[in-house]
Amino acid sequence: MSFFTTDFNAFLKDLAKNNNKDWFDANRKRYEKSVKEPFAAFVGEMIKRVNKVDPRVRIGPKEAIFRINRDIRFAKDKTPYKTSVSAIISPAGRKDHGIPGIYFELGPEKVAIYGGAYMPEKEALFAIREKIMSNRKKFKSLYEDKTFKKLFGSIQGEVNKVIPPDFKEAAKKEPLIANKQFYWGAELPAKTVIDPKLADILMTHYKAMRPLNEFMLG
């Protein structure tokens, strides 16, 4: 069973052309029926599936789903709404982007799936670097895993130009220690959103990334 109809992406395409409050208010019922409600149901299903693999994940859809309203306070682009919907399923949900989990974004341009520690706090970053330094071979075996590489390619993230002295020697052997972000992603065609196996597809990606997620959490 597909959680979404073709109007899911059709609505978001129309929103991109009419990104203003008046149009959104006039089409709110369509948004709730075609986008908001089915997405909440889908996120609920994903949480149940992830919980079976990781019992630490005990959040509800509201704790995972990001608002469709954009934060335009400091943005040059003042359009009020996002033209895709997204959620992050982890023990902390959207409250902490530094805790590894599965982030996914559905929209008319793509279905995107991400994992890892996107914005780890200073202490968490230090802990990740220490873990890598102490378990360099294990870390390398995880990001060189065939399934991981096939689905995600490699670990991404911004790199610190200057890193603490404790990690300088280790960074020569494992350059990823210099990262201040550790994430990975995959993009699928937008039509994937109406695939009845969408949840299965996301879980395949989640299971492939989980060993690295666990490494980061550990």
**Going residue by residue through the chain (218 aa), what tens digit of pLDDT does each one get?**
799 999 999 999 999 999 999 999 999 999 999 999 999 999 999 999 999 999 999 999 999 999 999 987 877 888 999 999 999 999 999 998 878 899 999 999 999 999 999 889 999 999 999 999 999 999 999 999 999 999 999 999 999 999 999 999 999 999 999 999 999 999 999 999 999 999 999 999 999 999 999 998 87
Interatomic CA distance for residues 64 and 74, integer angstroms: 24
pLDDT for res 33: 98
Q: pTM of the entire structure? A: 0.94
Per the document, the length of the chain is 218
CA–CA distances in Å: residue 23 to residues 77, 80, 88: 18, 11, 28
> What pLDDT is recorded for position 112?
98
Residue in 42, 50, 88, 107 with CA at minimum distance from that of residue 183: 88
pLDDT score of 71: 87
pLDDT of residue 184: 97
**Cβ-Cβ contacts under 8 Å for 53 (sequence gap 6 or more):** 206, 207, 210
Q: What is the pLDDT of residue 76?
A: 82
> Across 52-194, where does the E strand assignment appear?
85-89, 101-106, 111-117, 182-188
Q: What local confidence, expressed as pLDDT, does residue 98 receive?
A: 79
Q: How far apart are CA 112 and CA 107, in angstroms?
A: 9
Domain locations in the chain as residue ranges: 7-217
Amino acid at 30: R
CA distance 46 to 49: 5
- CATH architecture label of 7-217: 2-Layer Sandwich (3.30)
